[in-house]
Chains A and B, each alone.
Chain A
Amino acid sequence: MTKRLKFGAVDRRTIVKAGAVAGLSQIAKPFVWSARAADTIKVGMVDPFTGVYAAVAQNELIGVKYAVEQINAKGGVLGREIELLVEDSANDVGIGVQKTRKLIERDGIQFLIGDVNSGIALAIAQVSNEKKVLHIVSGGHTDGITGKDCHWNVYRVCNTTKMEANSVAELLFQKYGKKWHFITPDYAFGHTLQEAAQADLKKFGGTVTGNELTPLGTTDFSAYLIKARAANPDVLLVLPQGLDMVNCLKQVAQFGIDKQIHVAGLQQELESLEAMPPEARVGIWMFEWYWKQPGVPGVEKFVADIRSRSGGKVPTARTWFGYTSMMTYALVANQAKTLDGVQLAKALGNFELPAEVKLQPNKCYYRAGDHQLMTSAFVGEALTKPAGDPEDLFKVDTVIPGDKTSPPESETGCTLQWPA
């Protein structure tokens, strides 16, 4: 017993020493940074690299890193190199806010990207607004970000839920039928998505047979699927995202529901399709960006470059979000020849993305009234059998421009208040 205690004491001493060394290096590091980094432009990224959104956040990071590489290779921004500082929000608002403050207050970033989680995106937008730092929300979909909670300094690349609903609704109605039943995740994102789709359906003259609100993080959807099937709709719309959607579609397939009712949804992502077994990949959906666009300039090179940097994985919509967010900053700063947040935010109004950045056939620009990127919707069908490439899991039918899917600026509820 005594032997053991002694042994423990030695261990403890070693650990204390190791800890002291680690502590010293931590203290020393900031000095190194500040000495080296005086001539670079610092850009911060806050995203949930751990937790349920880890996969999509990591893909956004691949896109951002690739963009930084491209920008620096072409001479940087106003002749200065971009230095990217990445922070994990851990899918926790408190940590996200703290990291944002750290990036702005300590590291002095000029530009902020993030967050996938809409709640965190809204919270850190409050911080970036307070500190007057230009901020692009890469992947948070809640309407409020470019709606009633919009800020002069905040732009968004990914779609709003209204845009997503509007892009798919018509095709679904024509192809699948007019009686719809919803499986809706019970939080702000799901509610707005469902309401938008329901409004479209009413406009076409269809009916809603029911709306199952499922708590976020639901693992077993059978109770909701039992109810949905009993209502006998033409179409079952699966609106949950990520793991919830994978769970739901896996169970839909095993219950054989897709053989009786058309199963579809609105937003779909390559990350989710890749996590599903073949039989669960069914139905009409919209992608926010897709890697297979024959004949569209720049796409092939982008796909090849990303593949060479990510172990052969193709870029997803998330990769493109990250890439576009970062490229936007370099483009607008080089064009406006300033780093001032207010002037850059003004210059981004109605700013149109060039072909090598937008990577889609239609015109793609940031709307001045609500700061939303007018980006295309890629509407099509999920593929049970991959078409050739194992990552080709989606067949694009139509590519609808963003200003066709988005409600007019006057209806978004956004009133921008610029600093005096």
Chain B
Amino acid sequence: MSGKLKLESSGLKFVAPAAIWTALLLAPFWMPLLGGYTALGTRVLVLGLAAMSVNFLLGFTGVLSFGHAAWFGIGAYGCGMILKFIAPSTPLGILAGTLAGGLAGAVLGALIVRRRGVYFAMVTIAFGQVFYYIAFQWSSVTGGDDGLRPFYRQPLHLGIATVDILNNAAAFYYFVLACFALAAAAMAFILRSPFGRTMLAIRENERRARFLGIPIELHIWIAFTLSCFFMAYAGSLYALVNNFADPRGLHYSQSGDFVMMAVMGGMRSFWGPLLGAIVFVVFQDYVSSVTINWQIFIGFLFVLVVLFFPRGILGAIRRRAAL
């Protein structure tokens, strides 16, 4: 079972992550050559992290939440409100956003942890929409449809030097990359821990895990909560990317995009969702510049993935390698 998490050949085990990190580190240099731009890279990182957070629950615990955009959005609003109303500090904003979304997720998770399958998905959609409507309609606090603004990401004070992440796109990219690395490391650590193994056991066979005496509900609740914390963390970074928080970030259609990224990349692998996010965001960015009717193409992308690539890009590659 654990072998599934790792790549088949032990040589690849180190090569793949090394290649990914090298590509990410050098992104501001090679992306422009391919018609990309640094802001796109930053956005991909943040959305990729969000997709990985969804997948933490979906791919590794086997629980489908279709309302995760709510935690993403709460993270964004939490971060934005700190920057706007309380204190001009980027780290404090991220911390507050992460806590706000994570704690909200923990409370809700406790309510719905007994639901499964399609019913769980429905309930998460519906509860996610509660937060959407709060952001959308409580305009005196959230800015409503106009969004929460103005606020700006603040320079980082590192003791020895101050880094301007507002005007320097590359510096901001590396800041987001560092934040991304931190979260990815934490995720990998959890997945390798005994707790992570238990999550996989629940995914593979919930009934058997229950017979083994594993408190299923508690484990799912913890996994759900952790996933919400990661999600809110990504959301607070998203607020910094846009210098803006808006209700659309909480809408269930955003949740659908995240789930799609995870599935498209390959939800049984750690890096799959990041790959999915890259493909999804770049595809959307490209197609929507070419035609007004890009939504049809996104729709067909969904259909294609579901019908022909249910295991995602990485899943398909692995299957081929295994043949």
Chain A residues with CB under 8 Å of chain B are 8, 11-12, 15, 26-27, 29-31, 49-50, 58, 85-88, 90-95, 97-99, 101-102, 105-106, 118-119, 122-123, 126, 130, 142, 149, 186-189, 191, 215-216
Contact = CB atoms under 8 A, between A and B. Distances in A.
B38 interface: yes
Contacts of A58: 292
B37 A106 contact: yes
B193 interface: no
Contacts of A85: 289
A132 to B, nearest CB: 11
B238 interface: yes
A189 B146 CA distance: 9
8 contacts: A27-B34, A94-B246, A97-B242, A99-B288, A105-B37, A106-B35, A149-B150, A188-B145
B242 A94 contact: yes
Nearest to A32: B35
B145 A88 contact: no
A119 B39 contact: no
A396 B92 CA distance: 55
**Which of A29, A94, A102 is the most central at the interface, judged by chain B CB atoms within 10 Å of its CB?**
A94
Contacts of A105: 37-39, 169
B243 A126 contact: yes
A87 B39 CA distance: 15
B72 to A, nearest CB: 11
Interface stretch (B103-111, B136-144, B183-191, B199-207): B136-144
B34 A30 contact: yes
Nearest to B243: A126
Q: Would you list the 4 A-B pairs with minimal beta carbon distance, nearest first?
A: A30-B35, A101-B39, A119-B146, A106-B37
Contacts of A8: 308
Given A30-B35, A216-B136, A97 B244 contact: yes
A336 to B, nearest CB: 27
Given A50-B292, A102-B285, A149-B150, A119 B145 contact: yes
A11 B310 CA distance: 13
Given A102-B285, A126-B244, A187-B144, 4 more contacts: A26-B35, A31-B35, A94-B244, A188-B145
Contact of A26 (B139, B238, B286, B288): B286
B282 to A, nearest CB: 8
B191 to A, nearest CB: 29
B43 A98 contact: yes
A49 B292 contact: yes
A188 B143 contact: yes
Main DSSP-derived SS at the B contact region: helix
Nearest to B294: A88
Contacts of A26: 35, 282, 286
B149 A123 contact: yes
A227 B295 CA distance: 40
Contacts of B143: 119, 188
Contacts of B171: none
A227 B187 CA distance: 54
Contacts of A187: 139, 144-146
Nearest to A16: B316
Nearest to B34: A27
A29 B295 CA distance: 21
A195 to B, nearest CB: 14
A108 B23 CA distance: 25
Contact of A186 (B35, B144, B289, B316): B144
A215 B135 CA distance: 12
Interface string B255-293: 000000000000000000000000000100110110010
Nearest to B316: A12
Contacts of A142: 146
B39 A98 contact: yes
Contacts of B292: 49-50, 58, 88
Contacts of A90: 288
B308 A126 contact: no
Contact of B144 (A50, A97, A188): A188
Contacts of B169: 105
A130 B167 CA distance: 7
Contacts of B241: 94, 97
Contacts of A106: 32, 35-37
A29 B35 contact: yes
Given A50-B292, A188-B139, A102 B243 contact: no
A264 to B, nearest CB: 24
Nearest to B144: A187
Given A97-B244, A101-B39, A186-B139, A122 B144 contact: no
